[in-house]
Amino acid sequence: MQLRRGLYALAPPWRKHLPHPFLTANRLVPGSYVSGLSALAFAGAIPEYVPEVTSVARGRSHSRRTPLGRFSFRHIKPALHFGYRHVELGNDQSAFVARPEKALLDLVHQRPGGDRQEHLRELRLNFDALDLDALDEAARVHGAPKLQRAATVVRRLAEGAGDYAPP
């Protein structure tokens, strides 16, 4: 079955294993990595099931529906293309996936008001799955005030400080 021009997957009678959605996303847009809610759910940082695989890439933002699922790709500047790793997915499959801290920052970066306490609280983050020092460092490296505010809010929420009003 065709996934895009030049990219095919074996039909069910001939394949041994279903391609993992993260591997499919990486192959649909070479140079992309899985991030946002998809990577957060994979890391156990949020409790929800995420039906669409979200990735970031250097190209234009777009979505794609294939016989293997729904995939969305969000544009990110080349300078912000960091914080991901190569992850084994089982069945001899692997893919590039953002670390949970970078996935959270990518999500915040892409959403208007993503740094607001209400939005971050609604994610119901599992703080045990996040390295707050790595989150602070990634926000600092990114350099965007919005992401630095988000890292501060997440730290306050993790520390149980309740309501946080930015300076």
Task: Say what the pLDDT of residue 164 is.
Answer: 46
Strand extents, DSSP E, 21-100: 33-34, 52-57, 62-66, 69-75, 84-90, 93-98
Using CA atoms, how far apart are residues 125 and 10, in angstroms rounded to an integer? 37
Residue 166: pLDDT band with limits 50, 70, 90: very low
Contact in structure between 107 and 98 (CB atoms under 8 Å): no
Task: Say what the pLDDT of residue 161 is.
Answer: 56
Using CA atoms, how far apart are residues 163 and 110, in angstroms rounded to an integer? 23
% of residues, the chain, pLDDT over 90: 79
Contact in structure between 132 and 152 (CB atoms under 8 Å): no
Amino acid in the structure at residue 46: I
Q: What is the pLDDT of residues 112-137, one digit of tens each?
A: 999 999 999 999 999 999 999 999 99
Q: What is the pLDDT of residues 55-104, one digit of tens each?
A: 999 989 999 999 899 999 999 988 889 999 999 999 999 999 999 999 99
